[in-house]
Amino acid sequence: MEMEKETLWNRISISPRLAGPLFWSLWLLIILGMVLWQLWAMGYRLNVTPSLPRGIYRNSEEKPAIGDLVSFCLGQNQSALALERQYLESGSCPAGARPLLKKLAGVPGDQVIQTEEGIFVNGSRWENTVFSEVDSQSRPMPAASLSGVIPEGMALVLSDAHAGSFDSRYFGFVPLASLQKVIPVFLIQ
């Protein structure tokens, strides 16, 4: 009589009562993962931060205009700060962070003035854009020099929904070509 070698699989014992539900639960998780991956591939994104209304957004091929919601990736230095301070989670951007969602507030040639009252673009003040010297953990915030004319190829991105948003006030102008218009699909108010 040959003795069976003891392996991890031989030690695992699943009750017949649990085997069926466990099997179907695993299949359900696999299917759910495939559906979520497919939605991601189709350009759907989930926003859980307070910078914009929480919900599901979809990437659009349309060229963004002033006031449109846009998605973009930060550069290496800004991403490193955002990841270190946990403003952003790890994600699909080249520098390792998740893309940000903001409003396109200014394009090349627009006049930007930063005051104690907030940011003015072509004379109009954007809500919730007063610069804060420290973040919610009392850590000093970087200050971007924004006053002046937006240079060619650059854009100003802000959030008027949340005063504590990590936006152009802190990381400066972003490349206009890096912006992708996003459209809200389902928002949680």
Cα(5)–Cα(12) distance, rounded to whole angstroms?
14
Q: 120 or 14, which is more confident?
A: 120
* β pairing state of 54-59 and 148-149: unpaired
Given a contact cutoff of 8 angstroms between Cβ atoms, the answer to whether 151 and 171 are in contact is: no
- For residue 29 the two structure tokens come to 């998780």
CA distances from 26 to 15, 17, 84, 143, 164 (A): 16, 15, 34, 48, 40
pLDDT bucket at 24, cuts 50 / 70 / 90: confident
Q: What is the pTM of this model?
A: 0.79
What's the confidence (pLDDT) of residue 189?
A: 73
12, amino acid identity: I
Task: Read off the DSSP letter of residue 176.
Answer: G
Average pLDDT, the chain: 88
Side-chain half-sphere of 42: how many Cα atoms within 13 Å?
A: 12
Largest pairwise CA distance in the chain: 91
> Strands of 44-47's sheet, edge to edge?
44-47, 54-59, 180-188, 69-72, 100-106, 154-158, 174-175
Rounded to whole angstroms, the Cα distance separating 88 from 99 reads 8
> What is the band of 178 on the pLDDT scale with cuts at 50, 70, 90?
very high
Question: Comparing C-alpha atoms, which of 155, 49, 142, 46 is closest to residue 92?
Answer: 46
Residues 107-163: tens digit of each pLDDT: 999 999 999 999 999 999 999 999 999 999 999 999 898 999 999 999 999 999 889
In this prediction, what percent of the chain has a pLDDT beyond 90? Answer: 61
Greater confidence (179 vs 6) lies with 179
Q: For residues 12 and 184, what is the distance between their CA atoms, to the nearest angstrom?
A: 47
Q: How confident is the model at residue 18 (pLDDT cuts 50, 70, 90)?
A: low
Residue type for position 120: F
